[in-house]
Amino acid sequence: MLPTIYRTSLAPASVVWLCLLLVGLGCDSASGLSQCSNGSSISLEAENCLVFEDGDKLSEQRSVVEQVIRETVSSVNELMPIGDVTIRVVADPAQVIPELGLSGYNPSADEVVLFFDPSSPVLSQSLTRDLSRVLAHELHHAKRRRTVGYGSTLFEAAITEGLADHFSIELVGGPPPPWSKALTGDELEMWIAKAMEVWTTRPYDHRAWFVGTDSEIPRWTGYAIGFEIVRVYLAADSDRRASILADEPAETFLPVSPER
C-alpha cells in the first residue's frame, strides 16, 4: 500500500504512498468478474474491473484516469498475470499523498482502491507521471496476498512494500518513488539496524514505521528499509525480478547488508 497520512482506520493486518500514506480499510469485495456484471462498471483485461465511485467529482479527469488504468492493467499482465481484481476510483482528499494528489490502497486479494483529490494542483501531472506506478504497486500487493500474504510483522510488511515499489519501477521505469528513498546512507543503515531489533514483533506500529506518526521515526522509514533490502537481493542476481517474486516468503530476503 502506498503511504497516506490520515489513514487511521485503514491499518492492514500496508500504506507510497502510501500505504507511503499506508494503513487499512477492511472492506469486503466481490470479484472483478461479478462487479463488472452491472452497467456502471468497466471491464478490463484478464477479467479485472474498473468502478468509478467518485460521485462525478473526477468528471474532468475521468477519461485520462480510465486510459491510464486500462493501459497499466494490460502492462502489468504482461509481466505478472493477475485477474479478477476490482479497481475502485474514489474522490477523497483526506486519503491522498499530498505531494501527488492521489494514492492507492489494497485491502484484499481482489480489490484495489485509488484515492484522488480533484482539487489538487498537482493531480493533472500525477495522472500521467504517477498513477500507473501507484496502481502497479497495489496490484503487486493483491498478487502477493493470494499466496504469502501482506505480512503481520515489520519485516514482512517492509519486504511486501519494497517488492511493490521495485515492481512499479520494473514496469514503468524512472527513479524510485520518494518514499522508497526517504532515507539513504548512514541514516538508512542505522534505521535498518533499529528495525532488526523488532523485526518479528507482533503487533507492530505500522503507522509509526511507514507513515511517520511517531516523533522519533522519520516519515516513510518502513518503505525505505524495504526498498533497500529488496534492492540488495535483486542486485545479487540479474534473473531476480519483483514481477516473479510476488509469492516469495519474506525470509528469503535475509540477510541484508545495506550499501553505505
pLDDT in tens, 4-37: 533 333 333 343 434 433 333 333 333 434 458 7
Query: Do both 125 and 168 map to the same domain?
Result: no
- Determine, yes or no, domain membership for 17: no
Query: Do both 161 and 112 map to the same domain?
Result: no
Domain end (from 105, 124, 145): 145
Separation between Cα atoms, residue 256 and residue 196, nearest integer Å: 10
Considering its fold, how many domains does the chain have in total? 2
DSSP string, 76-129: HHHHS---S-EEEEEE-GGGSBTTTTEEEEEEETTEEEEEE-TT-TTHHHHHHH
DSSP string, 8-26: TT--------B--------
- Determine, yes or no, domain membership for 112: yes
- Determine, yes or no, domain membership for 97: yes
The pLDDT mean for the chain works out to 87
Query: Do both 127 and 159 map to the same domain?
Result: no
Q: What is the pLDDT of residues 107-166, one digit of tens each?
A: 999 999 999 999 999 999 999 999 999 999 999 999 999 999 999 999 999 999 999 999
- Determine, yes or no, domain membership for 189: yes
pLDDT at 16: 40
- Determine, yes or no, domain membership for 16: no
**How sure is the predictor about 255, in pLDDT bands with cuts at 50, 70 and 90?**
low
Q: What is the pLDDT of residues 178-200, one digit of tens each?
A: 999 999 999 999 999 999 999 99
Q: Do 17 and 97 form a contact (C-beta atoms < 8 A)?
A: yes
Query: Do both 237 and 165 map to the same domain?
Result: yes
Name the residue with cell 537481493: 233
Query: Do both 183 and 228 map to the same domain?
Result: yes
Query: Do both 96 and 176 map to the same domain?
Result: no
Query: Do both 118 and 55 map to the same domain?
Result: yes
- Determine, yes or no, domain membership for 122: yes
Judged against a pLDDT cut of 90, whether residue 175 lies above it is answered with yes
Share of the chain above pLDDT 90, in %: 80
| Residues near 238 by beta carbon (within 8 Å), at least 6 away in sequence | none
Query: Do both 96 and 175 map to the same domain?
Result: no
Which domain, by its residues, includes 186? 154-253
Query: Do both 108 and 205 map to the same domain?
Result: no
**How sure is the predictor about 97, in pLDDT bands with cuts at 50, 70 and 90?**
very high
Domain end (from 120, 145, 170): 145
| Residues near 124 by beta carbon (within 8 Å), at least 6 away in sequence | 61
Share of the chain above pLDDT 70, in %: 83
- Determine, yes or no, domain membership for 25: no
Per-residue cell: 135 = 496502481
What CATH number does the domain containing 72 carry?
A: 3.30.2010
Query: Do both 63 and 101 map to the same domain?
Result: yes
- Residue 151, number of CB atoms within 10 A of its CB: 20
Domain end (from 145, 178, 200): 145
Q: Do 48 and 85 form a contact (C-beta atoms < 8 A)?
A: yes
